[in-house]
Structure 1
Amino acid sequence: MGLEAILCSSNAHSRQDQNLGVLSEGRGQNEEALLATINGILFEPNHVPCKILMGAMIQRVGPKFFCAARSALSDALRIEPTNRMAWHCLGLLNKQDGRISEAADCFQAASMLEESDPIETFSSIL
């Protein structure tokens, strides 16, 4: 199996784990959702959707874990600085943490990125 096939398989596994995390969270199975998301990150450490989901789930646990949530969201933005969902989630976290000015900056970034989003993703055109 070539490197390209391994990377493709790893990315597909991370997407599958992220989807499982979203479904589990929707059912109220928070522990399973977090485990699926962590599993996705273990397979693909730079999988931004898993990092965003993990940050959002950790944030909901409570203020004691805001630092870990901020770390996951900041890492997602380091990898993909134009991800509007990461900016939005970081804004929600900052707002909940009382960092109103930082929250406003994050929401503004998310809003500007949303305006520039294409109606259809470029990858779907190919």
Structure 2
Amino acid sequence: METWHDLAYVYTSLSQWRDAEVCLLKSKAISPHSASRWHSTGLLYKAKDLHKESLKSFKKALDVDPNHVPSLISTSIVLRELNEQSLPVVRSFLTDALRLDRTNPSAWYNLGLLYETETGGSALEAAECFEAAALLQESAPVEPFR
């Protein structure tokens, strides 16, 4: 099933929407209630600039698995981009992700972006988050262990 998600991600990054959708349909046939599939669907919608639809998919992923770190991070990114939620809500998604996975460079990076954009945000806190993200990214394996 993860192979279908990985392939959907590749097709999404190449803007081959139909091929990505086919991969996600294959994944759905294998496991209709997969947080990972909902997350991949959300990434596809986000790539197509359908941010509200992507947010719905990330929410469905979190309904299936409230601890799905990629969906927590992606939700925070879309909410920040839409400027529809208060920054504390965005921060809560990122801190939840970091509570579950302290070594996630994307969560640290996005928390740094949040500190950077906050009114009265701390430049030092943002820099520390960016530094943590860079160090973790450098030491991350090319392909995650499963």
Identity %: 35
How many angstroms does 1:62 deviate by? 2.2
Structure 1 residues 64 and 99, CA, compared in 2 at 3 Å: closer, same or farther? farther
The structure where helix makes up a greater share of residues is 1
Do 2:79 and 2:85's aligned partners in 1 also have CA atoms closer than 8 Å? no
TM value normalised by structure 1: 0.83
Aligned Cα root-mean-square deviation (Å):
1.7
Do 2:80 and 2:90's aligned partners in 1 also have CA atoms closer than 8 Å? yes
Q: Matches of residues 1-126 of structure 1 in structure 2 within 5 Å?
A: 13-62=34-83, 65-97=86-118, 98-123=121-146
Matched positions, count: 114
Partner of 2:14: none
Name the aligned partner's letter for residue 143 of structure 2: E
Q: Which has the higher contact order (CA 8 A, sep 6+)?
A: 1
- Specify every segment of 5 or more residues in structure 2 that has no aligned partner in the other structure, as ranges: 1-30
- Specify every segment of 5 or more residues in structure 1 that has no aligned partner in the other structure, as ranges: 1-8
Runs of 4+ in structure 1 off by over 6 angstroms are none
TM value normalised by structure 2: 0.72
